[in-house]
Amino acid sequence: MLGRVEKKYGVVVVGGGPAGMGAALGARDHGEDKVLILDREPEAGGILLQCIHSGFGMHYFREELTGPEYAERFLQKVIDHDVDVLPGSYVSGVVVDSGGSKKVRIMSEAHGLITVETKSVVLAMGCRERTRGAVRIPGTRPSGILTAGLAQKFVNLKGYLPGKRIAILGSGDIGLIMARRLTLEGCHVEGVFELMPYSNGLTRNVVQCLEDFDIPLYLSTTVACIHGRDRIEKITVAPVNADLKPDMSRAWDVPCDTLLISVGLIPENELTQNLGIGLDVVTGGPLVSSTLETSMPGMFACGNVLHVHDLVDYVTREALLAGRFAGEWAKGVRRPKDNIRLVPGDNVRYCVPHTLSPEREHTIHLRCKAAMKPCKIKVGNLMEKKLRFVFPAEMIMFKIKPDLLDKFHDDTLRIDILPLEKGERVD
């Protein structure tokens, strides 16, 4: 029920976005009756509420939905499953006692300071955007510089326009979508500037958000300086050399009153860190076993807090799984510990989960370092999978069957992405 909170739960989910709602549903579907979702915003739904464009739900709902539609349908499902949802509540900490039971400390708008006891916790706090500080742009510090997702929140939820003449640094999907969004709202977008020689967003978004509206995309170009005293007045942009340093001899000025920054996302793990849970330095998320359990027993993680996903449908799938294991844990099921460690090899940036167990089928998520086409994924000596292409912006997923792992007697399994050898072909 919306707004209800009791003293004891089986599973408490931190975060009411797609990951949190999916985890609650997963726990509920596997027999855990007492599930609570906590969210700091005035309503659950997370980032979906401000993503008003369509393209969500093709896998899970089998139709193309907008973000708010996906959120509302999912929230309805969660409430129909008798999950308690408490928006306007902030988790300030989790205390774990020696018996393994957990006390979640909550600051709630409606209930004040409360503590809820639970057997397992699912971390589903999502991620946040990298800011100007993360990319170190020289120049003054005027107003009018904000991340693309914040601008999205202003425009789509609050009804404020951040400015009239917009420049966008970074060609991530949020930046591209905001270029179109602001054009529809009557702003002029001066251009999108991308450091790398390729766009970081989907081709679909480059075509439908930029080309359709004649917004220029400058590849291998970056913002070299910000000008303006109180409000941003112009930026200096410059093409970059092979070492990604701006070449100031070819620089030019772009007048603008707003600079949007869309340069990547970081999992939001302050709560995780305070608990002393082990993090993966590459993903920025916690280290997890094949049951999506963190280094602290009974604490699970899923969604963008674990690693940044491409699609909400993938988040939902992962969350349902994490919820299932959290629910099992709450009911006292203890699975044998994983005994195989996954190690990223050639051209693999990271893989999640970090360990495997031979007792189940696993879905491995990984990201490559560099684009390659065609190529093959090699999992130790167990299996090979040929692919037409891999791109850093596109998550790679594949399954490992338990019978394969049964034959494996080592403790580390290395994953490589390699070019095809002579005579090999992709079917």
Partner 1 sequence: MMIHCVSIFFRLKRERGLIEIKQYICIGCPVGCPLQLEHEKGQIKEVSGYECNRGAKYARQEFTDPRRSMSTTVPVSGALRQRLPVKVSGAIHKDRILEAARNIHELQVTAPVEMGQVLIKDFLGEKGIDVVACRSMKRVADTMTTFRTKKLGRNKTGKPKK
Nearer to partner 1, 261 or 368 (CB): 368
Instruction: Point out which residues bind partner 1 (CB under 8 A).
Output: 42-43, 49, 52-54, 64, 66-69, 71-72, 110, 155-159, 181, 183-185, 202-204, 206-208, 211-212, 373, 388-389, 391, 393-394
For residue 427, the minimal CB distance to partner 1 (Å) is 13
Question: What would the two tokens of residue 397 be?
Answer: 């997923």
Nearer to partner 1, 61 or 391 (CB): 391
Nearer to partner 1, 218 or 391 (CB): 391
Quick check: helix, strand or coil at residue 96?
Answer: strand
Question: What are the backbone angles phi and psi of residue 5, rounded to the nearest 5°?
Answer: -145, 135
Nearer to partner 1, 198 or 408 (CB): 198
Q: Which residue has the tokens 């999912």?
A: 74
Nearer to partner 1, 20 or 87 (CB): 87
CA distances from 86 to 11, 36, 222, 290, 293 (A): 14, 7, 43, 29, 24
Distance CA 391, CA 61 (A): 26
On whether the CB atoms of residues 378 and 418 are closer than 8 A, the answer is: yes
Q: Show Cβ contacts of residue 176 under 8 Å, excluding neighbours closer than 6 positions.
A: 192, 199, 201, 205, 206, 209, 210, 262
Nearer to partner 1, 115 or 203 (CB): 203
Nearer to partner 1, 152 or 262 (CB): 152
Distance CA 44, CA 21 (A): 9
For residue 246, the minimal CB distance to partner 1 (Å) is 26
Start-to-end Cα distance in the chain: 50
Question: What is the chain's length?
Answer: 427
For residue 84, the minimal CB distance to partner 1 (Å) is 17
Distance CA 69, CA 49 (A): 8
For residue 72, the minimal CB distance to partner 1 (Å) is 5
For residue 49, the minimal CB distance to partner 1 (Å) is 8
For residue 325, the minimal CB distance to partner 1 (Å) is 31
For residue 114, the minimal CB distance to partner 1 (Å) is 16
Angle CA(277)–CA(279)–CA(280) in degrees, nearest 5?
160
